[in-house]
Amino acid sequence: LKDKANFIMSMLELVVGGSGLTAEEKSVIDRCLPKIYEKYFEILYSTPDPV
């Protein structure tokens, strides 16, 4: 999740441009990312590995 968060943070900083993201904006993103990826990781870890 950390790599995905870094990627999204970098992408949003490029979109915003100029001064980048404020601490408040980064905090909101940090709180939202686990909720966004929750279902993805749930499925990823509940699927049995192929034999």
Does 9 reside within a domain? yes
Predicted confidence at residue 24, as pLDDT, reads 93
Does 51 reside within a domain? no
3-state secondary structure of 8: helix
Token readout for 35 is 């909720």
Query: In angstroms, rounded to a whole number, what is the distance separating the alpha carbons of residues 46 and 31?
Result: 24
Predicted confidence at residue 6, as pLDDT, reads 85
Count of structural domains, the chain:
1
Does 35 reside within a domain? yes
Angle formed at CA 10 by CA 12 and CA 17, multiple of 5 degrees: 55
Does 38 reside within a domain? yes
Predicted confidence at residue 17, as pLDDT, reads 84
Q: For the segment 1-51, what is each residue's pLDDT rounded down to a tens digit? A: 678 888 888 888 899 887 888 899 889 988 888 888 888 888 877 877 777
- Residue whose entry in the numeric block shows the structure tokens 């939202």: 32
Containing structural domain, residue 37: 2-46
Predicted confidence at residue 48, as pLDDT, reads 75
